[in-house]
Chain A
């Protein structure tokens, strides 16, 4: 299907060049790295940018690099890169696990993690892991650089706290010092590639849990009340049944074409129960392996 919108296209040679255009054009300039969200929008004529800034020529956006106490993921890093990265699998296995569920091989070869959270749809698969790992987002503009906490990033469906003149350049994830385990649970309509009907990410470090959900509210979000309740608790049936009530209060799902509100609420309960079981099993026994046993 051809694109009928007319726009300038510029493959920039430096970030400065990109930022200059961004500061001049604002939202009328769109940034392209993977393009798996942007190009369909162009084809459908939903967006009509005046200029496309292609970042693919910039070397610095492709790195997955261990810094002092964090790991830096560049804006050009694709889900396929994440899946291939031993560093990610070692330090952030939940992000690795979630990446395996993104669309299909072909899409993962192009789609970037940064693009995933810039599109900021409620079902973004990388959002949950980045939320529980407390990622920091490094955004740049001509005015300089600023750091946005991932929990402050998602401001509404398809909305972020990124300003018009800014570009998301790096995702920095702090390295966890303590033993940890977790899981990404994705509810989908069939076995093939799908957008989540609902998702749940759980991370356990010691006695603490961090929990995030996707497609169960207008934005991907942390479930702080649920986390607070679980803190220091020994998990038993009572605790699980109580936590199921809390999570349902914390989410705000809607009925749409992918699922009803009722099913999403029900599945949030099922997912939190199975997610905790799986997390604990991974924490103590290392089983099931990451990438194995989704919502069976």
Chain B
């Protein structure tokens, strides 16, 4: 209770400062805009390395599950222009982010179609490819595990027989001698009793397939291991520091230490989670180490981008929910069978995140969640915008509409009754942060005219509406931290060094706005660039929609640190009381002496000249770091109770007006609305950009995107001919972004994360609007027009 009062006070104080803000909360132009528009911005594949550059091609497994009997590289090595051929034998060390479960190249066993078995390094890409086709690999095929539910059967083959020996983080619970790599159990209250108390208990199963990120820029990496033993990696990455750490994990046996590896991240052409952690980059690092002195480029083609990076995991979700007639949810049992793929070194944490939060943004006193990370012989699953939340929300929010109908209650009213409030107990026992979810639901409902039935002008078409809620927390280790340096230049301009990545979301601009606010330097005089692990301070990763919050806090602290150093100096030289000093218009001012004005450009590098002609001070720099010191990942393995794994939840609501052709099933989104409580929008235009982009990406996953595999585990559509991503023509007719601001007490200026949240509600929005319009319920994603038309046809026949 004390914390709640303290938080309320903090919120009040934060809000008080809003009227005085100069930079935060303003729609300032992106600081990387000109660089990108003029094509001055460089991406990894743009970097020039001269004629010494070598190219790699990969020998890939044609089987989903097979033993490697023999690899014959003799023919490949002979080809003119080939520099080296490497196989798993050269790299006998496992790597992984949260669980060390894979090798750089498959050794003994291949576990998915497309897995790297060997690589050829050659003078040209053509020679490398040709040589790769000359590597002969003898396999002994085994029966692949392709279905996560069947993978749990007693007689199922085991994808990893050695699971018990894999090192992993303490919050994972693998079940040796099964295909369960991690089982997150969350238990709260008495769910059996809750079901007994319910007036209606309803259960069903929902299916979510795999998805690909489809960043426009494919993964690419250039590695150079120089003669002095220094490894430099240029990567298209969301996580330079985490990459460095994982590289060390795999290459330490070669005598390579953290200080020896330098990861330089250029601009990246989209990440969406797919460029977090380490996927194909490990190959670049390994090949560089194998060919000392020559830079080596590994560039993924579009097909590899689909089948050998990370994929969004598929999931089968079983929900049982109990409700009272008055709308109160009395109990929830939610079991999620995740098709996590061949390696789960990152994907298991997606499963973990979902297992902690599958209640959705609702207060449910009695619940039992089982989130199972199941090995299959499909490509490795991993992070994808939403990190498991889109997946569980499809079933949950579909189910809520259905159960509300069973008790004859308006589904929006149902959500308002159950929506989580500040201070409510979360599934794992900690308490909910401040949230504006009620305001979000109200604003969205109003915007789509909820409750007003609309008719299409076309007799073939019906109009449906829906409103759903969402929430998400950053999924990160409890000690994931951020840090920042701020350096002043002679003219009073600033360089900010952070290792948060600009992945299109506008991080560089937002960091500049935060520093600008504290130091009163306009953002036109602030430069923030993409990271280099040698020069820039530490950032865990740019994932989980946490960098505005985490890295923003670090920048704010660095700016305050610089400001305090300025005040120290001015107090020392001018004998002014530091409590009277303040910054304004790139200068130091004094409340008690209105005539005092010391411009930054007069002293931030060369100091202040004292009366005795000596100089005091020196280059002003600020240092800031941030770690959520209240977080803990350790709870009871059987209940999940006791820890504080999630730092906060961002909540919101979304709605659509959907027009559907009853014959063709074709759907047109007439209006899409999303209200998100981002605490404080540091740059409202950028937040709106996230809402528009996120919704378009989300709608694509529900309307037409879909990864298809054949019965041998081979991906059938690793291309844009048959894996469709939206074009400009596929935009909803209207998107209304709504910003709700209930400040986050520990966020910079009250901000909390927003990037992923904007795509999470899209799938149930469409499924529920289809039901609202036509009375047909589609329980498997994607909800294509084909499924809609055929379901309607089936309904008519029966």
Residues of chain A at the chain B interface (Cβ within 8 Å): 1-4, 187, 189-195, 257-260, 262-263, 266-267, 270, 295-296
Contact = CB atoms under 8 A, between A and B. Distances in A.
B614 interface: no
A257 B789 contact: no
A295 B666 CA distance: 9
B727 A260 contact: no
7 interchain residue pairs of minimum CB distance? A192-B727, A191-B729, A263-B786, A2-B125, A270-B663, A4-B129, A2-B126
A260 B793 CA distance: 14
Interface string B143-181: 000000000000000000000000000000000000000
B704 A189 contact: yes
Interface string B751-790: 0000000000000000000000000000000001110011
28 contacts: A1-B301, A2-B124, A2-B125, A2-B129, A4-B129, A4-B133, A187-B664, A189-B784, A190-B704, A190-B726, A190-B730, A192-B726, A192-B727, A193-B727, A195-B721, A257-B708, A257-B717, A258-B722, A259-B786, A260-B786, A263-B786, A263-B790, A266-B789, A266-B793, A267-B789, A270-B663, A270-B664, A296-B458
Contacts of A187: 664
Contacts of B458: 296
Given A4-B129, A4-B130, A267-B664, 16 more contacts: A1-B302, A2-B126, A4-B126, A4-B133, A190-B703, A190-B704, A190-B724, A190-B726, A191-B729, A257-B722, A260-B786, A262-B790, A266-B790, A270-B664, A295-B664, A295-B666
Contacts of A260: 786, 790
B732 to A, nearest CB: 11
B333 interface: no
A185 to B, nearest CB: 10
Nearest to B722: A257
Contacts of B666: 295-296
Nearest to A192: B727
Contacts of B700: 190
Contacts of A295: 664, 666
A248 to B, nearest CB: 13
Contacts of A263: 786, 789-790
B661 interface: yes
Nearest to A262: B790
B716 interface: yes
A250 B358 CA distance: 50
A50 to B, nearest CB: 17
A212 to B, nearest CB: 20
A259 B664 CA distance: 13
Contacts of B663: 270
Contacts of A191: 727, 729-730
Contacts of B717: 257
Nearest to B792: A266
Contacts of B661: 296
Nearest to A103: B721
Given A2-B125, A263-B789, A266-B790, A189 B133 contact: no
A267 B703 CA distance: 18
Contacts of B722: 257-258
Contacts of A267: 664, 789
Contacts of B704: 189-190
B724 A189 contact: yes
A4 B724 CA distance: 28
Contacts of B721: 195
A46 to B, nearest CB: 13
Contacts of A2: 124-126, 129
A163 to B, nearest CB: 30
Contacts of A4: 126, 129-130, 133
A148 B729 CA distance: 39
Interface centre among B133, B729, B785, B789 (most CB of A within 10 A): B785
A194 B124 CA distance: 34
A194 B729 CA distance: 12
A3 B125 CA distance: 9
A3 B126 CA distance: 7
A48 B700 CA distance: 37
A24 B11 CA distance: 83
Contacts of B793: 266
A191 B129 CA distance: 36
A257 B124 CA distance: 35
B662 to A, nearest CB: 10
A187 B789 CA distance: 13
A289 B104 CA distance: 59
A4 B790 CA distance: 44
Interface in B99-135: 124-126, 129-130, 133
Nearest to B782: A189
A192 B786 contact: no
Contacts of B789: 263, 266-267
Contacts of A257: 708, 716-717, 722
A257 B723 CA distance: 10
Nearest to B723: A257
B127 to A, nearest CB: 9
A263 B703 CA distance: 16
B56 to A, nearest CB: 13
A191 B725 CA distance: 10
Interface string B717-743: 100011010110110000000000000
A258 B722 CA distance: 7
A230 B769 CA distance: 39
A194 B129 contact: no
Contacts of A3: 126
B53 to A, nearest CB: 14
Contacts of A270: 663-664
Given A4-B130, A257-B717, A263-B786, A192 B724 contact: yes
A260 B785 CA distance: 12
